[in-house]
Amino acid sequence: MRNRVQNGRRIDHTLAAAVSSGDVVVVGNMVCVASVDGEIGDTIALAVSEVYNLPKLDAAVIAQGETVAYDVSAGEVDDNAITPAAGDITNFGIAWEGKGATTGESIAVLLTPGTGVVN
């Protein structure tokens, strides 16, 4: 296949803000995870697939296998039953596990491309 670019699990991205390894970085319609620490202007690899523990909105009740949304203002995963606000990304991933309403928890999410950023 001469037209293959790469396996698609990572994307190189130039940072607009400093990040630590494991931080969420939103790129267009994608919720990505930083693979290394980086400063403003650094180009680093971001994960765009695979399963990662991400911060979960305390009030969210999420079933295993449910598609999830990313609340950009809170910086947390929410269920897709919410009415998304401007900038939120819907259907960016699938819950790898179920989690009820809990405080300060993370949730394992399989990253997948989002359906789009809510305007």
Provide mean pLDDT across the span 92-105. 94
Provide mean pLDDT across the span 46-75. 95
Q: Quick check: 118 pLDDT over 70?
A: no
Q: Quick check: 5 pLDDT over 90?
A: no
What residue ranges do the domains of the chain occupy? 10-117
Ranges of beta strands (E only) in 1-119 are 10-14, 24-27, 30-34, 43-47, 51-55, 67-71, 76-79, 89-95, 106-111, 116-117
Provide mean pLDDT across the span 18-32. 94
For 76-85, write each residue's pLDDT tens digit. Answer: 999 988 888 8
Provide mean pLDDT across the span 34-55. 96
pLDDT computed for residue 70 by the predictor: 94
